[in-house]
Amino acid sequence: MEAAATWIAFAASVGTILQLSGEVIKYIEAATEAVDERQSLRNRIIATSDVLRLLETRAKLDGRKPIMNALNAPHGPFDQFRAILETLKEDLRPAGTSTVRLAERVTWYFSQHKVNKMVSAIEHFKTLFSLALQNETL
């Protein structure tokens, strides 16, 4: 029974992260300007989401309870990655429907430094999730 609860919590966390990733990707694709920066950020999020999908499938098949618990621990990797995505979503999401806000929505306003920092953080989590996929222990 405990294994089922672990799996349900793990799957729910992965599902939430994947949904949030999709929303952030949608906002990134709606923006204009800074094509290279947007593509880099979008591609890192997609790659990390792909690793999470594989990890979810493997965890379900193998019953990797230690990995699931470690990744889904309070303030653990899933919570930290979710926080990055929520920050991106908040920064990119249009606040309303006014003409001014719609114009802001399609303008990319992140500096190169901030984009590099976000890409690096996302890459860190992709690497961590990839290691979890390959190994039984973190």
Range of the structural domain that residue 81 is part of: 2-134
Check residue 105 and report its DSSP letter.
Answer: H
Domain count within the chain = 1
Task: Give 36's DSSP letter.
Answer: H
- Which pTM was predicted? 0.83
Q: What is the pLDDT along the chain (138 residues), one digit of tens a residue?
A: 477 788 788 889 999 999 999 999 998 888 777 778 889 999 999 999 999 999 988 888 777 788 888 999 999 999 999 999 999 998 887 666 544 554 455 566 778 888 899 999 999 999 999 999 887 544
Q: By C-alpha distance, which of 24, 52, 54 is closest to 119?
A: 24
First and final C-alpha spacing in the chain: 24
Distance between CA atoms of 80 and 10, rounded to whole angstroms?
A: 15
